C-alpha cells in the first residue's frame, strides 16, 4: 500500500489526464517549478540528478498550487524534473510523466541593502518604517523585519513591492504602546536573491499596551485532600504581565472536552492566587477546565479588569466520585467456567494466516495460552506438533470484547500486572504487548517500550519482526514457575498520545500479541492473573460552604486575620492554618492556629502574633469551614505581611485578590476599599486602623469594582443612612449602607441598580441638583451610554446614547472609563473613540432630573481618563491616550490651548492646583506640572519612573503625592512626594517592600495618611509628610 488516500480503493474505467508541462526558473540554491493547474487534479513532482533516463525520486506529493519552489538544491549542479498528474484520491489513474526538463541554480549577484532606514511612532499603536531605494535595479520588493530586542531574532512583519524609484515606507500597526521595537529592511531580487540586512533602527510605540500576559495555562487538576469534602483543586503557575498591572485569573469549566472558554462557562474570575478549589462541580462526571490570565491594563475585554487576556486553550480534567473508585480496573484469573475459553478476549489480526491462541487451558492450573492444543495428541508441553504454536503467526488477543477498557478520569498510577511463562524460538519468535487508544486510533497498536516495564523479564528485539518481545525460555519454565511482569501503562499511553496525562480518561486496547516466523515452533506463552490497576480513589463527602471575605491586616510582628463564617450550615467551626513556605494545601498542612467555633454568618477575627523576625516575611493563611463531622470546605487563602510600623508605613490590608482601585476615607466614616475578589470593605481609619470597621460586614458584588467609591451623607442624598456608591464590572451601580455594608434602603436586593449597563468601570458621581448618580459604561463590544440613576430607588432616570433625538448622530459611543465632571446643569465626560462608530471622545450634556441632550462633542482621540476643571479660568482639562493635554471652553468645547507630550497615555485625570496655578499629571514614565495657562518653558518634570500613577495634592499643603513601582519588576511599591515649594526639584520616596507596584493614591487629610491599593492586593497606609 502507498500512503495516498487511494491506497485501499479500486478504480476502473479510468481516463488518465494529460501530462503537465513544466517551466523551471533557477535561483540562488533554489529552482522554481511552474505548471498550469487544472481543477480536480493533484500533482506529484519527481527529481533526478543524473539525467532524464531513470532514477527519479518523488520530492513532493499531491501538489495543488503552482509554482513549487525546490530549496533542497545546490548552486552549480544540474537537476532534472518530471511531473505526473492524477485525479484527487486516485493515484492509480495518473498521467504519463511530463517531458523531462532541467535547470542549474546559480549564486546571486550582490544585492545592495536599502539605505536611509528610519522608524518613528506616527500614531498610537503605529510605527512607520521608511527607507530609500536599493541601488540594485533588479529589486522587486522589500521585506520589513522586526525584533523585540536589539540584534534580533527578527520576524517578517511586512513586504512592500518595488514599484519605482522610492522612497518607501511601511506602517506597522501591530505594535504595543510603551514597547521599543527594532527593525531591519532587506531588498529582494529574482531567483530568491536578497540583500544583506539594512542598518537596524528602533522606535518606541505610543498608545495602549496590548500584549496579553505570558502564561502557560492550567497545570493540574487534583482532588481535594486532608479531610476536605468533594472538590477539585485547579492549579497553575503564575503569569507575567507584559503591560503592567496586577495579573488575575479566570477559571472556565465544562463537561465537554475541547470547549471554548467564555462567559457562559466562566466559573470564577479575578483570582490573584495560583489555584482555585471547585466544590460545585457535578459528581461522578468528568469535568474539564481552562484557566486564562488577564493583566490590569484596562484596555482589553478581560472579565475582571477589562485587561488584555491570553488565549490559551490548555485543558485538564478532573473527576470527583461520590462512591469512590476501587484500585482494580480489570482482572481475570481465567478460573471461571462461563465464557471460556476466550472470555472477553477478542482476536486482533495483524495480517496472519494462522491463529495459535487457544484461550483457557488447564496446564498445572488454568491459564490463557498462545501455543498448541490439548487435542489430537497435543499437551501443555512436549514436542508433538499439536502441542506447539503454528508458524507464521502475527495475531493478538485483547480483553474488553473489542471495546477496550475505559480508564476513568482522575485515575493515577495505572499499572498492568500479569504472570506468564514462555518457550519461544529464541530471537525469532516471541510474545509482546501492543496498546491502542480510541482517542488516537483504536486500530493502530504501539508496541510496549522496554522503559515501561517496572518489573519482570526484559524484552529482546526479535530478528524477524524488529520489535521488543519476550523470547526464548523463561526462567523456571521447566518447573512451570510463573514470572510476574508489571508495566507502567501510563507511560505507554504517553508514548501513544505524545502528552503527559497518562491513561486517565482514555479507552485503552491492550493486546497480547504472539509472533512467530515461518520456521521453528515451540510450546508458546502461558498467561495468568491479569490485573489492570490504579491508585484507589476514596468516596468524597459533600463539602460544607467555605468562609467568605478572608483578609489579613499586617502590623508590627503580627497580622489580624478576619473572615465571615458560611451563611448556612452544616457549620461548627473554622480551622485556620498558616505557613511561611506556601499556602497550606489542606486542613492538615502547615501550622494550626485555631479551630474557632462560631455561628453561621458570624464575623470572626484572630490575631496571629508571628513574633520577632517576622516583619517582611509573608504569612500564608488558609481557612477551612468544618461541618461538625470533620468534613472541611474548600480552602480560602490570604497572605498577611507583618511590617515595622515605627516609620512611615503604618499598616497593610490584604485581600485574596488584586486591589488597585483607589481606597478612600469617606467623610470620617471609614476607609472604603473595593477589591477584585468581588467584595467591598470598610476599614477603621487612622494609623491604628486597617482592620474591619466595627459593625460593617463586607458587601458582596457579582463582579469586581475598578474605581473608587463615592461616599455620601444621608443629608446629601435623602436616603435614611449614609451610603457608598460604586460601579461594578457586572454593569450595575451598587449602593451600600456605609455603616453596615448592607444594600441601600429602597434599592433592589444586594444594593444593585435596577438596570445593568453591560460593564461599569468609572467612578459614579452624585449630582445634588437632580439627586442622580451619574456614570458611563465601558463595553468593548456592545453599545455604551452615559446614565443617570435615581439615588433613592436605583432606577434609571435617563440614558444618553448619542441618539439623534438627544442631539447626537446615532453613532455608537466608545468606552467611558472615568468619572464625569459636573458643572451645574452641564456634565462633561470623556470616552474612547469607537471603530466603526463615533470618533467623539469629549462630551458635554445638558441635564435635568428626567432628561438630557448633547451640548457639544469634541474628537480628540482616545481618552481613558476623566475631565477636570480649572475653575480659576473656567477651563475643562483633558489628557488623551496619545499624550496630549487640551484646555476647552465648557460652553462650546472650543480649544483654548493644547500641548502634546508624546510620552505615552495621560493617566487617569489631571489635577488642578489653584495655589501654584499648575496642572499635575502622569504618563508612562514621567510626572509633570505645567502652567494652567498652557504656557511652555516652565514645566516641572520628574522622569525615569516605573508605572507612575496620577498625582494628587495634599490639600492645604504644597506637597503632591503619587504611587509607582520601586523596581522594574514592580515587586515593591513606592510612594513619591513632590513639593511645589522647590518646584519638585527634590523628590522624597518611601519604598514598601513586597507589595508590588502601587495604584492611584488618596489622602486622608484628617489623619495625614496616604492610602493606596497595590498589585499584590494589599491596601497600605503611609504617614504624611514623608521623612
Secondary structure (H, E, C), 413-476: CCEEEEEEEEECCCCCCEEEEEEEECCCEEEEEEECCHHHEEECCCCEECCCCCCEEECCECCC
- Rounded CA separation 31/68 (Å): 8
- Rounded CA separation 588/520 (Å): 63
C-alpha grid cell, residue 454: 517496572
Tell the CATH superfamily of the 118-204 domain: Immunoglobulins (2.60.40.10)
pLDDT in the model for residue 659:
63
C-beta separation of 915 from 929 below 8 A: no
Q: Does the N-terminal peptide bond of residue 341 adopt cis geometry, omega within 30 degrees of 0?
A: yes
The 10 Å Cβ neighbour count of residue 137 is: 9
- Residue 630: name the closest of 585, 548, 571, 583 by CA: 571
953 forms bridges with which residues in the sheet? 960
pLDDT in the model for residue 660:
67
Instruction: Give me the CATH topology for the region 548-640.
Output: Immunoglobulin-like (2.60.40)
Domains 23-103 and 548-640 share a fold: yes
Element (H, E) at 488: strand 483-488
Q: Can you give the pTM of this predicted structure?
A: 0.76
Instruction: Give me the CATH topology for the region 328-533.
Output: Jelly Rolls (2.60.120)
- Rounded CA separation 60/642 (Å): 68
Give alpha helix (H) positions in 575-623.
none
pLDDT in the model for residue 4:
40
Domain 23-103, classified CATH 2.60.40.10, yes or no: yes
pLDDT in the model for residue 13:
53
Sequence spans of domains, the chain? 23-103, 118-204, 218-318, 328-533, 548-640
> Which segments of 51-192 are extended strands (E)?
57-63, 68-70, 79-87, 101-103, 118-123, 126-131, 141-147, 155-161, 168-172, 180-189
C-alpha grid cell, residue 957: 499643603
Parallel, antiparallel or unpaired: strands 193-194 and 483-488: unpaired
Residue 807 — left, alpha, or beta (φ > 0 → left; ψ -120 to 50 → alpha)? left
Return averaged pLDDT per consecutive 10 residues of the chain, 1027 residues in all.
36 75 91 93 93 89 93 93 89 88 90 94 89 89 95 95 87 88 94 91 85 94 91 95 82 94 90 91 92 82 82 91 91 94 92 85 94 90 90 90 91 95 95 94 92 96 90 94 97 92 93 91 96 91 94 97 95 97 95 96 97 96 96 95 96 83 89 90 96 96 88 97 94 97 97 94 95 93 94 98 97 94 97 91 97 97 93 97 94 97 85 96 93 96 93 95 91 95 96 91 95 90 97
- Phi and psi torsions of 805, nearest 5°: -60, -25
- Residue 1010: name the closest of 964, 961, 972 by CA: 961
Task: Output the CA–CA distances (angstroms, integers) from residue 735 to 711, 792, 819, in the order listed.
Answer: 10, 10, 16
pLDDT in the model for residue 306:
75
pLDDT in the model for residue 270:
83
pLDDT in the model for residue 107:
87
The residue assigned the cell 492550567 is 218
Three-class HEC string of 197-248: CCCCEEEECCCCCCCCCECCCEEEEEECCCCECCCEEEEECCCECCCCCCCE
pLDDT in the model for residue 736:
98
- Rounded CA separation 308/302 (Å): 6
Q: How many CA atoms lie within 13 A of 958 on its CB side?
A: 9
Residue 343 — left, alpha, or beta (φ > 0 → left; ψ -120 to 50 → alpha)? left
Q: What b/e sequence results for 518-555 when a residue is b if at least 16 CB atoms lie within 10 Å of its CB, and e otherwise?
A: eeebbbbbbbbbbbbbbeebeebbebbbbbbbbbbbbb
- Rounded CA separation 1006/964 (Å): 24
460 forms bridges with which residues in the sheet? 469
What CATH number has the domain spanning 218-318?
2.60.40.10
Parallel, antiparallel or unpaired: strands 875-879 and 232-236: unpaired
Amino acid at each position: 500500500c502507498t500512503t495516498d488516500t487511494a491506497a485501499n480503493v479500486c478504480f476502473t474505467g479510468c481516463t488518465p489526464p494529460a501530462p503537465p508541462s513544466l517551466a523551471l526558473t533557477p535561483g540562488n540554491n533554489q529552482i522554481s517549478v511552474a505548471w498550469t493547474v487544472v481543477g480536480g487534479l493533484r500533482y506529484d513532482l519527481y527529481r533526478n540528478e543524473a539525467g532524464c533516463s531513470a532514477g527519479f525520486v518523488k520530492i513532493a506529493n499531491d501538489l495543488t498550487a503552482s509554482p513549487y519552489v525546490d530549496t533542497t538544491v545546490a548552486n552549480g549542479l544540474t537537476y532534472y524534473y518530471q511531473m505526473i498528474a492524477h485525479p484527487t484520491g486516485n493515484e492509480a489513474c495518473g498521467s504519463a510523466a511530463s517531458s523531462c526538463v532541467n535547470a542549474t541554480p546559480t549564486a546571486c549577484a550582490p544585492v545592495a541593502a536599502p539605505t536611509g532606514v528610519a522608524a518613528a511612532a506616527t500614531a498610537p499603536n503605529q510605527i512607520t518604517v521608511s527607507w530609500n531605494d536599493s541601488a540594485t535595479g533588479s529589486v522587486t520588493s522589500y521585506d520589513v523585519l522586526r525584533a523585540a530586542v536589539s540584534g534580533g531574532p527578527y520576524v517578517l512583519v511586512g513586504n512592500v513591492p518595488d514599484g519605482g524609484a522610492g522612497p518607501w515606507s511601511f506602517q506597522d500597526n501591530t505594535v504595543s504602546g510603551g514597547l521599543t521595537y527594532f527593525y531591519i529592511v532587506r531588498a529582494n531580487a529574482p531567483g530568491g536573491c536578497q540583500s544583506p540586512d539594512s542598518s537596524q533602527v528602533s522606535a518606541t510605540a505610543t498608545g495602549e499596551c496590548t500584549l496579553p500576559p505570558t502564561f502557560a495555562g492550567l497545570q493540574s487538576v487534583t482532588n481535594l485532600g486532608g479531610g476536605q469534602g468533594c472538590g477539585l483543586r485547579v492549579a497553575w503557575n503564575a503569569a507575567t504581565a507584559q503591560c503592567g498591572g496586577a495579573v488575575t485569573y479566570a477559571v472556565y469549566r465544562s463537561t465537554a472536552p475541547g470547549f471554548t472558554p467564555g462567559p457562559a462557562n466562566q466559573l470564577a474570575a479575578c483570582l490573584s492566587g495560583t489555584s482555585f478549589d471547585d466544590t460545585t462541580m457535578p459528581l461522578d462526571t468528568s469535568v474539564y477546565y481552562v484557566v486564562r490570565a488577564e493583566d490590569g491594563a484596562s484596555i482589553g475585554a478581560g472579565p475582571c479588569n477589562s485587561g488584555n487576556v491570553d488565549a490559551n486553550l490548555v485543558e485538564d480534567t478532573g473527576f470527583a466520585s461520590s462512591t469512590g473508585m476501587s484500585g482494580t480496573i480489570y482482572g481475570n484469573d481465567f478460573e471461571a467456567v462461563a465464557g471460556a475459553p476466550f472470555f472477553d478476549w477478542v482476536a486482533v489480526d495483524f495480517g496472519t494466516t494462522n491463529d495459535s491462541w487457544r484461550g483457557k487451558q488447564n496446564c498445572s492450573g488454568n491459564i490463557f495460552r498462545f501455543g498448541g492444543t490439548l487435542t489430537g495428541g497435543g499437551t501443555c508441553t512436549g514436542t508433538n506438533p499439536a502441542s506447539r504454536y503454528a508458524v507464521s503467526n502475527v495475531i493478538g488477543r485483547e480483553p474488553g470484547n473489542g471495546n477496550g477498557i475505559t480508564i476513568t478520569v482522575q485515575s493515577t498510577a495505572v499499572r498492568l500486572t500479569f504472570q506468564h511463562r514462555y518457550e519461544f524460538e529464541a530471537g525469532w519468535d516471541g510474545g509482546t504487548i501492543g496498546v491502542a487508544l480510541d482517542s488516537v486510533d483504536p486500530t493502530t497498536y504501539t508496541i510496549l517500550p522496554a522503559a515501561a516495564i517496572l518489573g519482570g523479564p526484559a524484552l529482546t528485539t526479535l530478528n524477524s519482526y524488529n520489535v521488543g518481545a519476550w523470547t526464548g525460555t523463561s526462567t523456571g519454565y521447566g518447573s512451570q514457575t510463573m514470572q510476574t511482569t508489571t508495566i507502567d501503562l501510563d507511560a505507554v499511553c504517553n508514548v501513544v498520545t505524545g502528552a503527559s496525562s497518562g491513561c486517565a480518561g482514555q479507552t485503552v486496547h491492550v493486546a497480547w500479541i504472539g509472533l512467530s516466523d515461518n520456521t521453528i515452533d515451540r510450546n508458546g506463552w502461558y498467561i495468568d492473573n491479569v490485573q489492570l490497576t490504579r491508585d484507589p480513589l476514596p468516596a468524597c463527602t459533600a463539602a460544607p460552604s467555605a468562609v467568605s471575605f478572608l483578609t489579613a491586616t499586617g502590623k508590627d510582628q503580627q497580622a489580624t486575620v478576619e473572615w465571615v463564617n458560611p451563611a448556612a450550615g452544616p457549620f461548627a467551626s473554622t480551622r485556620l492554618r498558616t505557613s511561611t513556605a506556601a499556602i497550606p494545601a489542606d486542613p492538615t498542612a502547615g501550622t494550626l492556629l485555631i479551630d474557632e467555633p462560631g455561628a453561621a454568618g458570624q464575623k470572626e477575627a484572630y490575631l496571629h502574633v508571628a513574633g520577632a523576625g517576622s516583619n517582611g516575611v509573608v504569612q500564608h493563611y488558609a481557612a477551612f469551614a468544618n461541618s461538625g463531622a470533620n468534613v472541611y470546605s474548600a480552602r480560602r487563602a490570604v497572605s498577611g505581611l507583618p511590617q515595622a510600623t515605627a516609620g512611615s508605613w503604618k499598616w497593610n490590608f490584604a485581600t485574596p485578590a488584586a486591589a488597585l482601585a483607589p481606597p478612600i476615607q469617606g467623610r470620617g466614616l471609614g476607609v472604603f476599599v473595593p477589591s477584585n475578589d468581588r467584595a467591598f470593605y470598610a476599614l477603621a481609619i487612622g494609623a491604628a486602623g486597617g482592620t474591619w470597621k466595627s459593625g460593617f460586614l463586607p458587601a458582596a458584588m457579582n463582579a469586581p469594582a475598578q474605581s473608587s467609591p463615592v461616599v455620601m451623607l444621608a443629608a446629601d442624598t435623602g436616603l435614611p443612612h449614609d451610603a457608598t456608591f460604586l460601579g461594578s464590572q457586572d454593569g450595575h451601580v451598587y449602593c451600600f449602607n456605609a455603616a453596615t455594608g448592607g444594600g441601600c434602603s429602597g434599592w433592589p436586593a444586594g444594593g444593585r441598580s435596577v438596570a445593568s449597563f453591560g460593564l461599569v468601570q468609572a467612578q459614579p458621581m452624585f449630582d445634588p441638583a437632580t439627586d442622580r448618580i451619574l456614570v458611563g459604561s465601558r463595553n468593548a463590544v456592545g453599545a455604551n451610554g452615559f446614565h443617570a440613576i435615581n439615588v433613592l430607588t436605583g432606577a434609571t432616570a435617563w440614558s444618553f446614547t448619542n441618539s439623534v433625538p438627544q442631539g447626537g448622530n446615532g453613532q455608537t459611543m466608545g468606552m467611558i472609563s472615568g468619572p464625569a465632571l459636573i458643572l451645574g446643569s452641564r456634565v462633561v465626560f470623556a470616552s474612547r473613540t469607537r471603530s466603526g462608530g463615533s470618533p467623539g471622545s469629549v462630551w458635554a450634556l445638558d441635564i435635568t432630573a428626567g432628561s438630557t441632550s448633547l451640548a457639544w462633542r469634541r474628537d480628540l482621540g482616545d481618552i481613558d481618563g476623566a475631565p477636570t476643571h480649572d475653575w480659576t479660568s473656567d477651563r475643562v482639562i483633558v489628557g488623551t491616550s496619545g499624550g496630549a493635554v487640551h484646555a476647552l471652553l465648557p460652553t462650546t468645547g472650543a480649544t483654548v490651548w493644547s500641548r502634546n507630550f508624546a510620552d505615552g497615555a495621560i493617566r487617569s485625570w489631571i489635577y488642578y492646583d489653584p495655589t501654584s496655578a499648575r496642572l499635575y499629571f502622569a504618563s508612562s514614565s514621567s510626572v509633570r506640572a505645567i502652567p494652567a495657562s498652557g504656557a511652555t518653558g516652565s514645566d516641572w518634570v520628574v522622569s525615569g519612573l516605573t508605572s507612575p500613577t496620577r498625582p494628587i495634592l495634599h490639600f492645604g499643603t504644597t506637597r503632591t503625592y503619587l504611587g509607582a513601582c520601586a523596581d522594574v519588576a514592580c515587586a515593591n511599591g513606592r510612594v513619591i512626594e513632590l513639593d511645589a515649594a522647590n518646584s519638585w526639584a527634590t523628590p522624597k520616596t518611601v519604598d514598601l517592600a513586597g507589595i508590588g507596584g502601587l495604584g492611584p493614591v488618596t489622602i486622608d487629610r484628617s489623619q495625614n495618611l496616604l492610602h493606596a491599593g497595590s498589585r499584590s492586593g494589599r491596601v497600605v497606609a503611609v504617614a504624611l509628610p514623608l521623612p
